[in-house]
């Protein structure tokens, strides 16, 4: 019998809320990078592992600005946001060779935004055959690596970006 371990998801499955107070993304702005899985900090945005990933290496690119819509971001922030998305895709290609990406923004509750007040971009690496019957029938995703392991794999590649 094979086992599927994902203990870090239990608080999410129980519906436990994030601590009350500042936005989860705003708290990460001043947090210790490794503790919060922050991979990269640019001039206007940062990259963090998604705590509840759709697939291994699911990243979020988050502007420092606490706004809920793209239209509320300054032009230089929008440019940095997209450039950081491209850099993050490059890192993921080097680290794990995905065959494609889902890149998206859920703006507003009706669009599926889990954190409406702070806009962010999802980068989901994809491989042929990565979504199978378990996802469709069992409503379960298999994530083959713990977040700390993914962080350890990706952080040096993001550090190299900073050095370029």
pLDDT of 38 strictly over 70: yes
> Using CA atoms, how far apart are residues 8 and 70, in angstroms rounded to an integer?
30
> What percent of the chain shows pLDDT beyond 90?
57
Q: Show me where the domains of the chain are located.
A: 23-163
For 54-76, the pLDDT digits (tens) are: 788 999 999 999 999 999 999 99
In the set 37, 44, 118, 120, the catalytic residue is 120
Q: What integer is the mean pLDDT of 37-53?
A: 94
Is residue 120 annotated as a catalytic residue, yes or no? Answer: yes
pLDDT of residue 139: 55
For 113-137, the pLDDT digits (tens) are: 888 899 999 999 998 876 654 454 4
Q: Which CATH architecture has domain 23-163?
A: 2-Layer Sandwich (3.30)
Phi, psi of 108 (to 5 degrees): 95, 155
CA angle 75, 76, 80 (to 5 degrees): 120
As a whole number, the mean pLDDT across the chain is 84
Q: Helix 75-96 and helix 147-163: axis angle, to 10°?
A: 120
Q: Strands across the sheet with 59-63, in order?
A: 38-41, 45-49, 59-63, 121-126, 100-104
């Amino acid at each position: 019998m094979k086992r599927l371990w994902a203990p870090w998801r239990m608080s999410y499955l129980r519906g436990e809320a994030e601590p009350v107070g500042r936005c989860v993304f705003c708290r990460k702005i001043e947090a210790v990078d490794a503790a919060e899985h922050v991979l990269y900090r640019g001039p206007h945005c940062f990259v963090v592992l998604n705590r509840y990933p759709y697939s291994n290496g699911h990243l979020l690119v988050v502007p420092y600005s606490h706004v809920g819509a793209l239209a509320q971001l300054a032009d230089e922030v929008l440019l940095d946001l997209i450039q950081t998305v491209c850099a993050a895709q490059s890192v993921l290609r080097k680290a794990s060779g995905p065959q494609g990406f889902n890149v998206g923004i859920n703006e507003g509750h009706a669009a599926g935004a889990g954190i409406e007040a702070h806009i962010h971009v999802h980068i989901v690496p994809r491989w042929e055959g990565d979504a199978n019957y378990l996802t469709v029938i069992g409503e379960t995703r298999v994530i083959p690596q713990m977040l700390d392991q993914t962080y350890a794999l990706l952080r040096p590649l993001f550090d190299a970006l900073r050095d370029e």
